[in-house]
């Protein structure tokens, strides 16, 4: 049974680790946020935040509740629980990059004390907990089950979601044995309303991949339908609205200029990688969804070029204003945003690309020099040859932007009149 007083070290203080730290502090736990980025550590200890969902005031409250950040792995020796929340990007050839997971595991193995619960939250392929993390932890002489517990619990953070957070989003846990599963369940139950136990680590790992593969494939479906519907002169947005009235058997997904964030463009590839590696054949649904979703930025550029041609203008030399360059509305997170590729493709065709985003003052993810956001959206729209709405932030007055624009291309289906072109 875990003692009433618990110290947790959360490795990685980004979009997953910092909200987790906040929830744990709110539940009365003593939390140390371990991060190798000295600037992040400095900012956190100064009461400043570097992510959307945690305000500076929240960090100050956390510090008052006993939170501190550190870049010294030796703090792991103070922990009853160590949670790994480090990035797991894809490598250049599409394979999972587990260097951060391995590095965190090595630090934990070196410093953890007997009785520690270790939980991996970083998304990865099935078998990582047992085949990668476990051997590293045991390499220093401790034995799993006898000396420490080990489990996997997939993160379910949805940046910008004001309805579902850590407490009211069910938490899946799966341990290397029944005792590890129970230890993880008991820990997360301190600040999560519902904890769901999986059969083991591989089931918990795969559950996360199934969730995001499901979304990836269904987004690809509506993206392909959007393209067909445009050619057939059918309003895809009205089609989805009508289909959504069915009270069973249908869940609405919406087309867009591409997929972004860390989860949807990345996570299904972990599963595809492991299927190919272990079984020797492709995961065809994932590969097809990847092909379709990755083609959407180029499709958007083609539609922009067609719209300009229809108005007797060439794309080369035209000023294209991109509205919203984050991967999701109402946040500043630009990870894997399709806006980056759209901008690069437009520039390659000779367009003059400008942008406006209330959440991104300087955009560093385009070809060439960083761009500064236009100071005001309406005036920027008046100056552009075409405006492309990539992200429908709440701050945008869509009707006013449409009226101010010479051409307005809506990739999010939020316009309500024929003055705009829609995906």
- The answer to whether residue 205 is domain-embedded is no
Distances (CA, A) of 290 to 216, 262, 346, 402: 8, 14, 22, 32
Is residue 61 located within the same domain as residue 160? Answer: yes
**Mean pLDDT value across residues 103-119:** 97
- The answer to whether residue 416 is domain-embedded is yes
- The answer to whether residue 207 is domain-embedded is no
The 10s digit of each residue's pLDDT in 293-340 is 999 999 999 999 999 999 999 999 999 999 999 999 998 888 889 999
Split at pLDDT 50, 70, 90, the class of 167 is very high
Q: 3-class secondary structure for the chain?
A: CCCCCCEEEEECCCCCHHHHHHHHHHCCCEEEEECCCHHHHHHHHCCCCCCCCCCHHHHHHHHHCCCEEECCHHHHHHCCEEEECCCCCECCCCCECCHHHHHHHHHHHHHCCCCCEEEECCCCCCCHHHHHHHHHHHCCCCCECCCEEEEECCCCCCCCCCCCCCCCCCEEEEECCHHHHHHHHHHHCCCCCCEEECCCHHHHHHHHHHHHHHHHHHHHHHHHHHHHHHHCCCCHHHHHHHHCCCCCCCCCCCCCCCCCCCCCCCHHHHHHHHHHHHHCCCCHHHHHHHHHHHHHHHHHHHHHHHHHHHCCCCCCCCEEEEECCCCCCCCCCCCCCHHHHHHHHHHHCCCEEEEECCCCCEECCCCCCCEECCCCHHHHHHHCCEEEECCCCCCCCHHHHHHHCCCEEECCCCCCCCCCEEC
- The answer to whether residue 1 is domain-embedded is no
Identify the pLDDT of residue 230. 96
More confident residue, 95 or 112: 112
- The answer to whether residue 257 is domain-embedded is yes
Which of these, 396, 343, 389, lies nearest to 367 by C-alpha position? Answer: 343
- The answer to whether residue 166 is domain-embedded is yes
- Domain of 45 in residue numbering reads as 7-199
Q: Are 380 and 389 in contact (CB under 8 A)?
A: no
Whether the pLDDT of residue 2 is over 70: the answer is no
Is residue 186 located within the same domain as residue 230? Answer: no
- The answer to whether residue 191 is domain-embedded is yes
The 10s digit of each residue's pLDDT in 243-264 is 999 999 999 999 999 988 776 6
Is residue 152 located within the same domain as residue 27? Answer: yes
Is residue 185 located within the same domain as residue 226? Answer: no
Is residue 232 located within the same domain as residue 182? Answer: no
Identify the pLDDT of residue 1. 45
Where among 138, 165, 199 does a domain terminate? 199
Is residue 257 located within the same domain as residue 404? Answer: yes
Report the percent of the chain where pLDDT is more than 70: 97
State how far the Cα of 414 lies from the Cα of 188, in Å rounded to an integer: 39
Is residue 236 located within the same domain as residue 332? Answer: yes
Where among 169, 199, 229 does a domain terminate? 199
Is residue 180 located within the same domain as residue 227? Answer: no
**Which CATH number covers residue 143?**
3.40.50.720
Is residue 115 located within the same domain as residue 261? Answer: no
- The answer to whether residue 76 is domain-embedded is yes
Q: How would you label 366-397 residue by residue, b for 16+ Cβ within 10 Å and e otherwise?
A: beeeebebbeebeebbeebbbbbbbbbbeebe
Is residue 270 located within the same domain as residue 184? Answer: no
Beta-bridged to residue 388, according to DSSP, are: 322, 409
Where among 168, 199, 230 does a domain terminate? 199
Q: Are 137 and 108 in contact (CB under 8 A)?
A: yes
Split at pLDDT 50, 70, 90, the class of 359 is very high
Is residue 159 located within the same domain as residue 225? Answer: no
Q: What is the pTM of this model?
A: 0.89
Distances (CA, A) of 355 to 67, 100, 142, 307, 330: 38, 34, 54, 19, 16
Quote the number of domains for the chain. Answer: 2
Identify the pLDDT of residue 367. 64
Q: Which active-site residues does the annotation give?
A: 263
Report the percent of the chain where pLDDT is more than 90: 80
Is residue 277 located within the same domain as residue 185? Answer: no
């Amino acid at each position: 049974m875990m003692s009433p007083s618990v110290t947790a070290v959360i490795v990685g203080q980004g979009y997953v680790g910092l909200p987790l730290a906040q929830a744990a502090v709110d539940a009365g736990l003593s939390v140390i946020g371990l991060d190798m980025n000295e600037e992040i550590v400095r900012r956190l200890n100064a009461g400043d935040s570097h992510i959307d969902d945690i305000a500076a005031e929240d960090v100050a409250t956390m510090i008052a509740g006993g939170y501190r950040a550190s870049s010294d792995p030796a703090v792991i020796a103070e922990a009853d629980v160590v949670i790994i929340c480090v990035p797991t990007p894809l490598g250049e050839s599409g394979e999972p990059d587990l260097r951060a997971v391995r590095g965190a595991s090595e630090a934990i193995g070196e410093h953890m004390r007997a009785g520690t619960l270790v939980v991996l939250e970083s998304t990865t392929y099935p078998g990582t907990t047992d085949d990668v993390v476990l051997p590293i932890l045991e390499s220093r002489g401790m034995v799993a089950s006898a000396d420490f517990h080990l489990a996997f619990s997939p993160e379910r953070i949805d940046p910008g979601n004001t309805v579902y957070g850590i407490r009211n989003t069910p938490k899946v846990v799966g341990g290397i044995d029944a005792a590890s599963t129970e230890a993880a369940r008991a820990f997360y139950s301190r600040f999560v309303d519902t904890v769901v136990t999986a059969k083991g680590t591989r089931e918990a790992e795969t559950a996360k991949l199934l969730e995001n593969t499901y979304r990836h494939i269904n987004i690809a479906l509506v993206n392909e339908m959007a393209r067909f519907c445009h050619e057939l002169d059918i309003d895809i947005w009205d089609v989805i609205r009508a289909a959504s009235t069915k009270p069973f058997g249908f869940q609405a997904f919406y087309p867009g200029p591409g997929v972004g964030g860390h989860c949807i463009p990345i996570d299904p590839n972990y599963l595809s990688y492991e299927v190919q590696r272990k079984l020797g054949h492709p995961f065809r649904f994932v590969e097809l969804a990847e092909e379709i979703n990755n083609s959407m930025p180029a499709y958007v550029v083609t539609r922009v070029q067609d719209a300009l041609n229809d108005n007797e203008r060439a794309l080369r030399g035209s000023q294209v204003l991109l509205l919203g360059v984050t991967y999701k509305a109402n946040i500043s997170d630009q990870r894997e945003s399709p806006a980056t590729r759209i901008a690069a493709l437009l520039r390659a065709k000779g367009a003059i690309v400008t942008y406006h985003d209330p959440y991104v003052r300087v955009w560093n993810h385009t070809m060439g020099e960083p761009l500064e956001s236009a100071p005001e959206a309406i005036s920027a729209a008046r100056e552009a040859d075409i405006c492309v709405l990539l992200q429908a932030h709440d701050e945008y007055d869509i009707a006013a932007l449409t009226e101010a624009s010479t051409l307005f291309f809506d990739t999010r289906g939020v316009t309500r009149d024929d003055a705009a072109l829609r995906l």
